[in-house]
Chain A
Amino acid sequence: MSKKNPTWRRYLRFWGSDVESDLRDEFEFHLDAEIEQLVAEGWPAESARAEAVRRFGDIEQFRERCRRSDERRVARRRRLLSLSSLTRDARYAWRSLRKDRAFALTALACIALGVCVTTTSFSAVDAILLRPLPYPNDNRLLTITSEDVTRGYHGANISYADYVSWRNENRSFSSMGIWTWVTKTITTGETERMQGASVSANLFPTLGVRPVLGRNFVPDEEVTAASDVLLLSYGLWQRRFGSDSSIVGRTISVDGRPHRVIGIMPPGFAFPAQSEFWMPFAHDQLANEPHGNRGYAGAIGRLKPGVTFEQAAADLHSIDARMARDFPRDNKEWTADVKTLREDLMGDLKRPTLVFLGAGFLVLLIACANVANLLLVRGIARQREIAVRSALGAARADLLRQLLVESVLLATAGGILGALGGMWMVRLARFAFPNGVPFYLTFDPDLRVVAGAIAVILLTALVAGAMPAIQSTRLDVNRVLREGSRGGESLVRSRGRTVLVVGELAMSTLLLVGGVLLLRSYRAYVDTDLGFDRAGILTARITLPEKSYDDLSRRVSFFQTLEERVRAMPGVTVVGSAQGIPFSGWNTGAGLGFPDPSISPPDNPIDSHYQAVFPDFFPALGIHLVRGRQLSMSDRDTVAPVVVINESLAKRAFPGKDPLGQRLKFGPGNEPGPWYTIVGIVRDFRHYQLPQPMGPAVYLPYTEYQARSQTLVIRTTRKDPYALVPEVRAALNEIDPQIALYDIKTMDDAVAQSFWRQRLQSQVLGVFAGLAVLLAVIGMYGLISYGVAQRRREIGVRLALGARQSAVMGLVVKQGLALAATGVAIGIVASLALVGVIKSLVYGVSASDPVTYLVVGLVLFGVTVASTMIPARRAAAVDPIEAMRAD
């Protein structure tokens, strides 16, 4: 016997179809009707039911089949309905936003800003951290340089002998090549000094790169006699040879000697960085070089399949151990410094890039909070509309969905604008790098960036829209409809807005602290006393070709003549030169020996920077002589040569004693070599880029050590030192037209360039912090203004009761300051907690230095007062009578 469907279930159908009870009703009706019919045909009552049931069949089985059909049908209908309701929601949202244009545009602007900043940061992260290098399987490429374990030098040059051992004895690499820097003068019509590299024949195959025209080097060309072949960069080929493919096979003049061009490398390839040409690494004369002669940039190897980085490093270190045993003097403290190619090229960019990503994300969050705030206010304004719709039967879920569609629409529109802006802005990365974007980085947006932008947009919609949507749909319909437009704001809601604004202020405090810290670091860099003058000094480098300047006296007379000619130019006060000027990256060092072996013992020798200089080098850079005398051109005695040392060396080698008259030599004291007498001590000046400190240094007179390269240091009174360049070139041309001037820059520029990272960091974070503060201020302004509008009656009453206008203004400003104080306090606590994150980026100033926080607090308070002035004035201008009368 089937149960009758309880009546109350029927009323549930009002809320939507109920498959189960419908079926039950239908079958029940059938059975009742059939029974009735059977009875009418003459069947007795009791057996009529049994017959009806029999004629029906297995009720449960059929009920099941019907139910399945029905559920499929209902599900399909529901899907179609939701799709159509989404379109309806979207259209409604579009109309609603169009009506409230001010809100829509403000929200759009906030979102676009946040998404733009995030996309730019993410594009940078993608290009620097995620995208592979332009080599096949780049994660299998390792760079090998030298590490001095006792002194902690990393990335130092390698020796050819070490390289040969690594290459021949390793079991981890399928191939390994060596390379080093090379600069040559290339003459085709004009003479130009260019940067290039000499590479072993297997280096490019190891990287996985081949020439687009011609061929790579062959091992036979790695001997001096056969190494007069050249590979050109694509850019050079375009620039100087007009992309003429017949250049392959022709000869051009390199350092005065003919070299044959055998190929052109692919476009954009400039290994290791900005190279314009490549030559074979000739090693036939290096066979007897000792292991300690570390003069070559490095080696690159490709891991065998299945070998891990750790295994390869351990493998090389075991070879190092063997070499340390066999050659203790040269190899005891040295070991292979193994890194992945990616880590080598971009390791030091990792931290700042991630900091930018974090900062960009904070700006996005602040923007979202602003939009959430705007949506909350809008929700309050639309209370009546929502209440009416709810009373007319809209389900809460539907209302929520409609509001979310609105925020998704806003987020999408603003997000697309912002993402496009962000991807475009990344192109400005070009200007960030001092020598342009390195060839192994591409900042063009790719799929990952686009996907990231979409994710960000959706996140924004959710974060900014969820809370307001929930708040707006949670209302007491009756109360709202009764009270009309004066429908008060619930306490919960205004607390939510306050929390948002305080959160924004906290986050912008965090960013501002970061920005100020980086700015102070940058200034600390810039203001560091480098020990030499920067202003009004032009530098330019000259390298003499070997063949025509084999005779050492010719070299001296060349530079002497050149310096005399340049000094004679109007506006030039002093001209000197050195083998490598500060901040040029050029460096040589050697262990020193002294008559007293205890000064530089074999287990802790004094390693000193040394170079040959023309005497006026020191006055040209403004470096003071502390004691003794300067070098002079008459210091030509090769039997009793002289040197000048710096204060560091004086303190280290002769503590408490007078170094003048003491002697030193290069190499251990017991080995043959001339003894140099110390005749003068100069003040320390920084030769290495910051933050590396200066160490001991020895300066030899050029007349005693005629290096092939010298960098001219020209002190001038001219406003623009670069104006001297054509004149200097002309003077050079007069003396020897085969020689080119290169690496021309003022000392100011050289130093400023070395700070490009710190400058960029402080600029970017400064911009982010500025945007954050702007957004937070807008948010606070909105909240306070709204509060003033809501409390008009109360203000009116106060004024009517005799309160002074200034008191009312003070009330408003105090409210703003209270918000700011809370936000700043939270922000400062957060920054102190996160100090460890940016500590590595901060220089010269403690990350918890109170001055920073004081400045940030003052800035935010000042900005708060300024932004609350407007609503404060509006509050003071309220007409008490009108305010109390208004409904």
Chain B
Amino acid sequence: MPRSAELPLLQGTLDVLILKALSWGPRHGHAVARLIRDTTDGAFEVLDGSLYASLHRMEDQGWVESDWALSDKGKRAKFYHLTAAGRTQLRREAATWRTYAGAVSKLLDATVQPA
């Protein structure tokens, strides 16, 4: 299936999306990938590999932890969940993102040239 034009992901944005995806409970890597793709309507061009690279890096940084468990299909999979530090990081990044997005929108949505 051909893909619509996909936007390159801004650096650091993938991290906050993953953290948000995990905020609803532990998930394995594939589920996270699917969630992000579905919720953003496939607007972003995200390689699954870079998702895993992010996950492993964030585990090294202490924002997520992993456990091996059985998936809903009964197969062995690596599940990730947020740590307390991860939650804090999510809050911080989300706030930053909103401020950033808000500031950009403010100018972009201006109809009259500001004084």
Contact = CB atoms under 8 A, between A and B. Distances in A.
A22 interface: yes
A29 B76 contact: yes
Given A22-B78, A25-B78, A33-B30, A73 B59 contact: yes
A588 interface: no
A29 B28 contact: yes
B49 A29 contact: no
B97 interface: no
Contacts of B49: 56-59, 61-62
B48 A69 contact: no
A69 B56 CA distance: 6
B48 A29 contact: no
Contact of B53 (A33, A34, A65): A65
Contacts of A61: 49
Contacts of B98: none
Given A37-B34, A70-B56, A26 B48 contact: no
Contact of B60 (A34, A56, A58, A72): A72
A62 B52 contact: yes
11 contacts: A26-B52, A29-B28, A30-B29, A55-B47, A55-B48, A57-B47, A57-B50, A62-B50, A69-B53, A69-B59, A73-B60
B106 interface: no
A27 interface: yes
Contacts of B53: 62, 65-66, 69
A56 B49 CA distance: 5
A34 B30 contact: yes
B75 A29 contact: yes
Question: Top 9 nearest A-B pairs by Cβ distance?
Answer: A62-B49, A57-B47, A57-B49, A69-B56, A66-B56, A33-B30, A56-B48, A69-B60, A65-B53
Nearest to A56: B48
Given A66-B56, A69-B60, A72-B60, A29 B77 contact: yes
Contacts of A37: 34
Interface string B67-80: 00001000111100
Interface in A57-97: 57-59, 61-62, 65-66, 69-70, 72-73
Contacts of A72: 60
B18 interface: no
Contacts of B29: 26, 29-30
B24 to A, nearest CB: 19
B92 interface: no
Contacts of B60: 69-70, 72-73
Contacts of A22: 78
B90 interface: no
Contacts of A73: 59-60
Given A29-B75, A29-B78, 17 more contacts: A25-B76, A25-B78, A29-B29, A29-B71, A30-B30, A30-B48, A30-B52, A33-B71, A34-B33, A34-B48, A56-B48, A62-B52, A62-B53, A69-B53, A69-B60, A70-B59, A72-B60
A211 to B, nearest CB: 67
Interface residues of B, number: 22
Interface in B27-41: 28-30, 33-34
Interface of A is mostly: helix
A62 to B, nearest CB: 3
Contacts of A70: 56, 59-60
Contacts of B75: 29, 32
Contacts of A55: 47-48
Contacts of B33: 30, 34
A33 B59 CA distance: 22
A724 B52 CA distance: 102
B60 to A, nearest CB: 4
A32 B50 CA distance: 18
Contacts of A43: 1
Contacts of A25: 76, 78
Interface string B44-63: 00011110110111011000
A69 B53 CA distance: 8
Nearest to A36: B73
Interface string A98-139: 000000000000000000000000000000000000000000
Nearest to A25: B76
Most buried by A among B30, B48, B57, B77: B48
A69 B50 contact: no
Contacts of B1: 43
Contacts of A62: 47, 49-50, 52-53
Contacts of A66: 52-53, 55-56
Nearest to A67: B56
Contacts of B48: 30, 34, 55-57
A65 B54 CA distance: 9
A27 B60 CA distance: 18
B8 to A, nearest CB: 14
B115 to A, nearest CB: 48
Interface string A504-531: 0000000000000000000000000000
A55 B28 CA distance: 17
A65 B55 CA distance: 11
Nearest to A27: B52
B67 to A, nearest CB: 12
A346 to B, nearest CB: 60
B21 to A, nearest CB: 15
Interface string A39-66: 0000100000000000111110110011
Interface string A13-41: 00000000010011101101110010000
A55 B1 CA distance: 12
Contacts of A29: 28-30, 71, 75-78
A27 B29 CA distance: 9
A72 B34 CA distance: 28
Contacts of A56: 47-49
A29 B56 CA distance: 16
A344 B55 CA distance: 73
A26 to B, nearest CB: 5
Contacts of B76: 25, 29
Most buried by B among A43, A58, A65: A65
Contacts of A26: 29, 52, 77-78
Nearest to A32: B75
Nearest to B78: A26
A46 to B, nearest CB: 15
Interface in B1-19: 1
A329 B79 CA distance: 104
Contacts of B57: 65, 69
Nearest to B37: A55
Most buried by A among B50, B60, B76: B60
A320 B33 CA distance: 96
Interface in A655-692: none
A576 B74 CA distance: 117
Contacts of B34: 37
A182 B74 CA distance: 104
Contacts of B52: 26-27, 30, 62, 66
Interface string A790-812: 00000000000000000000000
Nearest to A42: B1
Contacts of B47: 55-57, 62
A32 B29 CA distance: 12
A460 B114 CA distance: 81
A61 B34 CA distance: 21
A35 to B, nearest CB: 10
